[in-house]
Chain A
Amino acid sequence: MLDTAVRDVEGVAGYQGTRFLDKGLLHLRVNGEERSAVARPADTLLEVLRDQLGLTGAKPSCRNGDCGACTVLLDGWPVKSCLMLAVEAVDHEITTIEGLHGTPMQQAFVREFAFQCGYCTSGFIVNGHALSQIHPDADEATIREWLQSNLCRCTGYAEIGRAVQSVLEES
């Protein structure tokens, strides 16, 4: 929901139902909680999550949609929060790595040692978790296609692949 961020134009002919946005208070639903942030319309979801809400699990890296370190879930689907405006997330359910608690994907990453420096890990886990929820019967090609969205500069792909695959096999 948006309140002070919305300039009232309901009375203006041709603009009924239209919302013009200025910098203001933004209400977001994050990890099952209602959260508020003061944001500009041009602020990315990544910036608002980290700088306003203190949720630093989504990592800034390329800020260009290439690396996937900032992946979060929007209504259960993985998106790169650096390529999404925070205002777009209004009226949607956002889940960050902080919203996952002991999921099978997290356990599998620990079990398979699927991390080295750890910077990409939250993005991989969020993406892998979404895959396990949306396509629990995913074949190898689908797993590969989904994981193409994330980069690990330590190149720990074999362990990451094994972790994701193990969760899907269990399900």
Chain B
Amino acid sequence: MFHDLQVQGKNPFYYGGGTEIISFSRLHQLYPQAVIDVKDIPECRVLEYQGDTLVMGAAVTLSQIQESNFYPLLSWCGGRVADHTIRDKITLGGNICARIPYREAILALLVADCQVVIEGKDGTKREPLDKMFDRTLQLEPGDLLVQVSVNKQHTNLPFYSSKRTTDGKVAYPQDRVGYPLISSAFVKDNGHVRAAFSGLCAFPFRSFELENVLCDRGAPLGERLDRIMGLLPGQIVNDMEGSGDYREFLFRNTVREALGQLEGVEYVC
């Protein structure tokens, strides 16, 4: 159907929660002449354990994931996207494939070595997320993300996760909702720390090189952090939300806090 609509010049979009499509269309930044609603596809609505694998359909909302709490780190990362009411609409697939640069739900998936199921014109393929994600999910035109699956052992690892924004707490009960200057997800698996970040660069990322330096416990943390700064996969974002220097400061503190918590060591600035 996607290809038929494309041939007709309709610039089709897959439609999950639709929040980004509606808001960008309103601003004339998107002009889809056709959308394909995927919410009624049964495979896209799955949220369950199948044996030892947690299977999550792309049309499952972030609120449903948060309420199920099958994967606490994902509940946490997805649970700070936008606000609660919008998370009743935003889908997992929509957040992963969004145009917005932050896409915080992906952080918990990047550190979980998960698999993605993609339906395309050549059929169904199942691939590791690591292979398919490079700044964005690498989809061909017409490819549809159907499911994400995570092995149960990855859902129960000790984790650290934080989101830092320009806005602090305002007044009870109103906390300000905002885009992250730095959003992070760390897990510790058999002594190895995996980490993913959003907000630091113009795209979410996980870097194996960065993790190897992070886990080089023979070196002082300050030295490791200096080496990590040279391994970032892109320029640090420098905009009106926060300067590059401030983001670097927050990044260093985030790593220090995360390692301190996961390793039970207090790292002094």
Stretch at the interface among B16-24, B114-122, B142-150: B16-24
Instruction: Check: B173 CB closer than 8 A to any chain A CB.
Output: yes
Instruction: Say yes or no: is A80 at the interface (Cβ < 8 Å to chain B).
Output: yes
Contact partner of A77 (CB less than 8 A), chosen from B1, B26, B63, B82, is B63
Nearest 4 pairs of A and B residues by beta carbon: A149-B85, A161-B173, A149-B83, A144-B173
- Asked whether, in the complex, the Cβ of A14 is within 8 Å of the Cβ of B172, the reply is no
**Which one of A27-35, A51-59, A61-69, A104-112 contacts B?**
A61-69
Q: List 26 A-B contacts (CB under 8 A).
A: A15-B1, A41-B35, A42-B25, A64-B26, A71-B85, A77-B63, A78-B85, A80-B86, A83-B18, A83-B19, A83-B23, A83-B86, A84-B18, A84-B22, A85-B22, A88-B39, A145-B84, A146-B85, A148-B174, A148-B175, A149-B83, A149-B84, A150-B85, A151-B174, A161-B173, A164-B173
Within residues 117 to 171 of chain A, which ones have a CB less than 8 A from any CB in chain B?
127, 140, 143-152, 155, 157-158, 160-161, 164
From A64, A77, A157, B171 is in contact (CB under 8 Å) with A157
B89 at the interface (CB under 8 A from A): yes
Give every chain A residue within 8 A of B174 (Cβ-Cβ): 144, 147-148, 151-152, 157
Considering only residues 151-183 of chain B, those with a C-beta below 8 Å from chain A are 171-175, 177
Indicate if B48 sits at the interface (CB-CB under 8 A).
no
Q: A95 — which chain B residues lie within 8 A by C-beta?
A: none
Tell me whether B18 and A143 are in contact (CB under 8 A). Answer: no
Q: Are B1 and A157 in contact (CB under 8 A)?
A: no
User: For window 81-104 of chain A, which residues contact chain B by CB distance below 8 Å?
Assistant: 82-85, 88
Tell me if A158 and B89 are in contact (CB < 8 A). no
Chain B at the A interface: SS class: mixed
Residues of A within 8 A of B (CB): 14-15, 18, 41-42, 44, 63-65, 68, 71, 74, 77-80, 82-85, 88, 127, 140, 143-152, 155, 157-158, 160-161, 164
Interface size for B (C-beta < 8 A) is 25
By a CB distance below 8 angstroms, the chain B residues around A18 are 1
Q: Contacting A80 at CB < 8 Å: which of B79, B85, B171, B172?
A: B85
The winner among B1, B79, B85, B88 for most chain A CB atoms within 10 A is B85
Say if the beta carbon of B37 comes within 8 Å of chain A: yes
Q: Which residues of A contact B86 (CB under 8 A)?
A: 65, 80, 83, 149
Chain B residues, CB < 8 A from A88 = 18, 37, 39
List chain B residues, Cβ under 8 A from A64.
Answer: 23, 26
Interface residues of B in 40-75 (CB under 8 A from A): 63
A36 CA to B217 CA in the complex, in Å? 66
| Set of chain B residues within 8 Å of A149, measured between Cβ atoms | 83-86
**In the complex, which residues of chain B have a beta carbon less than 8 angstroms from the beta carbon of A82?**
22
Complex CA–CA separation, A15 to B79 (angstroms): 36
Q: How far is the CA of A71 from the CA of B85 in the complex (A)?
A: 8
Residue of A nearest to B33 (CB): A42
Chain B residue contacts of A151, Cβ below 8 A: 174
Verify B22–A83 contact, CB threshold 8 A.
Answer: yes
Residues of A near B177 (CB, < 8 A) are 148
A65 touches B23 (CB 8 A): yes
A11 vs chain B, min Cβ distance (A): 15
Query: Cβ of B84 and Cβ of A14 under 8 Å apart?
Result: no
Question: CA separation between A64 and B25, bound complex, in Å?
Answer: 11
| Residues of chain A lying within 8 A (CB to CB) of residue B26 | 63-64
